[in-house]
Amino acid sequence: MASLEGKRIAVVVTDGFEQIELTSPKQALEDAGARVDILSDRSGTVQGMNHHEKGDAFEVASTLDAASAADYDGLVLPGGVANGDALRLVKEAQAFLKDIDAARKPVAIICHGGWLAVSTGLVAGRTMTSWPSLQDDIRNAGGTWVDREVVRDGTWITSRKPDDLPAFNEAVIDALAA
């Protein structure tokens, strides 16, 4: 496994994220030696979901308005319908994603996490995958949607769903180690 010692990764969520889409990449990144911080639009805790059931609450390391993309080596955007739909409206989340992308740092998006990317205007010209219900949004935003386990397009890594997490995690670690 590649070593990510010294790397710092942001995971951006709000309430309603798909819990396994945060916990699985977070654990894989930490196992590879990275520090992983949960960032949100509010302080305190954020509520995970196990599909339609409440999951665990997770401590927020920093609010987005207090965080700087310059302090991070990459970004993970978990899905969850409520999370993805809410985050796409958070200006600080949009700005954070734009700053990470402008710095050419890896951006890892799974499932409904792609809604934030659509709302930033960064999807045009990219090839991505996501939960199938986002394919029209991605196409309407100027992207190409494909139904694959993992898609790498430049510094972006996208996946469809929790079943893709092993391949997603491996691709994210590879991109961060490069």
| CB neighbour class for 120 (10 Å; exposed up to 12, middle 13-18, buried from 19) | middle
- In the chain, domain spans: 8-177
pLDDT at 2: 85
Distance between first and last Cα of the chain: 12
Partners of 144 in beta bridges: 127
Whole-number Å distance between alpha carbons of 175 and 169: 10
Tell me the catalytic residues: 111-112
| CB neighbour class for 3 (10 Å; exposed up to 12, middle 13-18, buried from 19) | exposed
Partners of 63 in beta bridges: 40
Look up residue 90 and give its two tokens: 């958070």
| Amino acid at position 57, single letter | A
**Radius of gyration for the chain, computed over Cα atoms and rounded to the nearest angstrom:** 14
Q: Following DSSP, what letter does each residue of 8-34 receive, concatenated?
A: EEEEE--TTEETHHHHHHHHHHHHTT-
Mean pLDDT by 10 residues, the chain (178 residues): 93 98 98 98 97 96 98 98 97 98 98 98 98 98 98 98 98 96
Look up residue 27 and give its two tokens: 């654990």
Determine the topology of domain 8-177 in CATH.
Rossmann fold (3.40.50)
pLDDT at 27: 98
Look up residue 49 and give its two tokens: 């979901």
